[in-house]
Amino acid sequence: MDENVAIYLVSDSSIDTAEHVAAIAASRFGTNISQIKKFPYVGDKNQIDEIIIDASNNKNSLIIHTMVVDELKRYLLNKARQYDLRIVDVMGPIMDAIEGTTGIAPTELFFHKRKLDEDYFRKMDAIEFAVKHDDGKDVNGLLLADVVILGVSRTSKTPLCMYLAHKYIKAANFPLVPEVDPPKELFEIDHNKIFGLMINIDNLVEIRKERLKSLGLDSKAVYAAKDRIIKELNYAKEVMERLDCTVIDVTNKAVEETASIILNKINKGGL
């Protein structure tokens, strides 16, 4: 093998089986495996199109799949052939052997029910994770997160993490405060998993003033003072530059918009 290989793991359920098989195989080739991209819970043809196009842009790519839903599986195979991509079906030979032995065809009805159950518990796990690792409660969770959200107070870190949880993403968030050094765990994470939230100074002043009013507090408190906010944002920018993370300007952005940017980067980067 003269060049590195990019492996694409694709499944309409959990990616665990394909990932396990790929890891065992990849361990025999050392540095020849340049990257592994994961695409679990693929549920429609548009997703498959995006995966195929991405794979076709890599000179040497290999698709390993555990697709079970027949229509999607056939579509994936046809698209791979169309783009002259090498593809490996992990589950197919096993299912064919069982069907040939028992004379019983696999039922997609059972598969769909199982997938719904898996989706539900996967979402609950992500929501529980977001709650447990909200606002820097457990820095060890930063190492376990799919993504880590950073930002000063009132940049919608918590709502963003909860939204991502409903998309099956385990998100932790950590507040950036000038008086508190960022935890060492942040520097042990792949910088592609970290997303820093920045916001316009004047917008944040107004947001914090409204927050203080809603709590029955003086809107002129230091928390909403412009000088204080400038200091916090400058500190946040410095930390984000040190981490070399993706920075998103959330000024006037809905949580859904910010989440979409993160999800697109995750999918493209194969995190």
The reply to whether 153 sits in an annotated binding site is yes
Count CB-CB contacts under 10 A for residue 95: 13
Question: How many helices and strands (H and E) does the chain possess?
Answer: 9, 8
**Does residue 135 sit in the same domain as residue 230?**
yes
Mean pLDDT of 224-237: 97
CB-count exposure of residue 168 (10 Å: 0-12, 13-18, 19+):
middle
Question: Quick one: what percent of the chain has pLDDT higher than 70?
Answer: 90
**Does residue 140 sit in the same domain as residue 31?**
no
Residue/partner pairs of 220-224 with CB below 8 Å, 24 or more apart: 223/153
**Does residue 129 sit in the same domain as residue 245?**
yes
- Does residue 102 have a pLDDT over 60? yes
d(CA 115, CA 168): 13
Residue 43 exposure: Cα atoms within 13 Å on the Cβ side: 8
pTM (two decimals): 0.60
The reply to whether 157 sits in an annotated binding site is yes
d(CA 26, CA 253): 41
Residues spanned by the domain of 27 = 3-100
DSSP-based three-state secondary structure for 112: helix
Place of tokens 């984000």: 240
Q: How confident is the model at residue 119 (pLDDT cuts 50, 70, 90)?
A: confident
The reply to whether 180 sits in an annotated binding site is no
Count CB-CB contacts under 10 A for residue 17: 16
**Does residue 258 sit in the same domain as residue 138?**
yes
Q: At a CB cut-off of 8 Å and minimum separation 6, what does 257 contact? A: none
Which CATH number is 74's domain given? 3.40.50.2300
- Is there a domain that residue 108 lies in? no
The reply to whether 154 sits in an annotated binding site is yes
Helix, strand, coil percentages, rounded to 5, for the chain: 55, 15, 30
pLDDT in tens, 172-206: 999 999 999 999 999 999 999 999 999 999 999 99
Q: At a CB cut-off of 8 Å and minimum separation 6, what does 56 contact? A: 83, 85
- Does residue 271 have a pLDDT over 70? no
**Does residue 199 sit in the same domain as residue 123?**
yes
The reply to whether 14 sits in an annotated binding site is no
d(CA 151, CA 109): 44
In single-letter form, the type of residue at position 144 comes to L
Count of the separate structural domains present in the chain: 2
The reply to whether 66 sits in an annotated binding site is no
**Does residue 81 sit in the same domain as residue 138?**
no
- Does residue 16 have a pLDDT over 50? yes
- Is there a domain that residue 223 lies in? yes
Which CATH number is 252's domain given? 3.40.50
Among 48, 73, 100, identify where a domain stops. 100
**Does residue 209 sit in the same domain as residue 136?**
yes
The reply to whether 156 sits in an annotated binding site is yes
Contact (Cβ atoms closer than 8 angstroms) between residue 25 and residue 5: no
